[in-house]
Structure 1
Amino acid sequence: MSGHGFHVHGPHDHELEHQSQHEPKGMAGQLAVITAVLATVGAMFSYMGGATQANAGLYKNNAAIKKTEASDQWNFYQAKSSKQSLSELGAMLAPADKQAYYRQEADRYKSEKEAIQTKAKALEDESREWDEKSEAQMHEHHRWAQATTVLQVAIALAAIALLTKRRWLEWGTLALGGVGVALGAAAWFHL
């Protein structure tokens, strides 16, 4: 009924207009800022968690490759051992004029085995190092995941605080946010 410049507001219309035209104040404004900060920090923590998990998988893959290469070397070592044994047997069974040849072959296989054994052990050590790096990355990933989860719970608590208008829940949101940031710091410093 405002055709002639006269307009009647409902009891709550004025308050709604006032709220929409002014910056958020009080608990709602504080929780909006807290939630935005927690969500931003949580997104960064989530990214770091994903990156460390990907690194852990990559390192575990490298460990498996080195383990396979070591296994190949140990198989090669076994083949040389078999040839050495056959040459030693040949030296015992061969006629006298061929025994020196078989002894020489047995010695050659023995010396080749030493180099192969050294390489196989080095590859096993590399595999172990990659495994250790993978485990360290997974530990760090778990810290990032814990931090992200706690921040998500803090954001949910902020929503509950806003709906119930309970100030103590706002303080709980801040406390959980602090715990999440502390867990993120532990991940950052590899603790």
Structure 2
Amino acid sequence: MDKLDNEINDLKGFIADLKADRAAQKEKEKKESWTKYTSMSLVFIAVLAAIATQWAGKYSSRTLVELNNSTYDQAQASGEWGYYQANSIKQNLYEALHEIAPKETMAVDSKGSDLFKTKIAKYEALKKDQKEKAEVLQQQRDEAKAKALDSSKHGSGMGMATSIFQISIAMGSICLVTKKKWLWYLSLLLAAGATWQMVSVWMH
């Protein structure tokens, strides 16, 4: 009989311990229920980080495209200025020949004088056309450089936002391991700062 009583008491003790363990487990789960929200926030932050990374890549691509356009326009403008210089030399040569040609010959042979004047006028017109083209190309070059600089600034801003998002995710991950709630708050604060940075880049 005593043996049966002892077994019943052991069983009661075991059940009491089991109930206590379950109660402690529930209490622990209740205290750490905030970790579910931490995990959800990390997923959301990761999505924002992916968006920022994608936009940083787009801005970098735009920067490269505009720098290529600027280089191309500069090369074209240099070519036009080269033609301008060549025609200027030819025009100066005809002007010099016209000056040193004997006046008597020019007076007798008006065709020679007209030829000089025609050539000089031709090179003057070519110079004017090439100057206009070169100036347009230089303006396009400057516009492309300005766009490249603007895209570079935007890309740098998005890169900064991406870095802050990554730090935020790291903080949140450490928080889940260490169960320190203040790290989660710090992670959210960093994510808010990165979001503000990202929106600021978009708005400007």
TM norm structure 2: 0.78
Runs (5+) with no aligned partner, structure 2: 1-17
Note the C-alpha offset of 1:103. Answer: 2.7
Note if 1:145 corresponds to 2:159. yes
Note if 1:61 corresponds to 2:41. no
Amino acid at match of 1:159: S
Amino acid at match of 1:61: N
Instruction: Say which one has the larger Rg.
Output: 2
Alpha-carbon distance in 2 for matches of 1:163, 1:189: 37
Which residue of the partner structure matches residue 96 of structure 2? 89
List per-residue Cα deviations over 1:37-79 (Å, max 9, x = no partner).
1111100110010011001100111111111111111001001
Give structure 1 regions of 4+ aligned residues with deviation exceeding 3 angstroms: none
List per-residue Cα deviations over 1:70-103 (Å, max 9, x = no partner).
1111001001101101111121233523233223
Q: Is the 1:91–1:100 contact (alpha carbons within 8 Å) kept by the matching residues of 2? A: no
Identical columns (%): 23
Alpha-carbon distance in 1 for matches of 2:65, 2:38: 40
Alpha-carbon distance in 1 for matches of 2:74, 2:100: 39
Alpha-carbon distance in 1 for matches of 2:125, 2:81: 15
Runs (5+) with no aligned partner, structure 1: 1-10
TM norm structure 1: 0.83
Which residue of the partner structure matches residue 154 of structure 1? 168
Alpha-carbon distance in 1 for matches of 2:33, 2:187: 15
Alpha-carbon distance in 1 for matches of 2:154, 2:203: 9
Which residue of the partner structure matches residue 46 of structure 1? 53
Alpha-carbon distance in 2 for matches of 1:175, 1:71: 52
Amino acid at match of 2:47: T
Note the C-alpha offset of 1:187. Answer: 1.5
Which residue of the partner structure matches residue 40 of structure 2? 33
Q: CA RMSD in A?
A: 2.0
Alpha-carbon distance in 2 for matches of 1:55, 1:112: 36
List per-residue Cα deviations over 1:18-44 (Å, max 9, x = no partner).
89xx9xx62321221111111111001
Give SS of 2:54's match.
helix
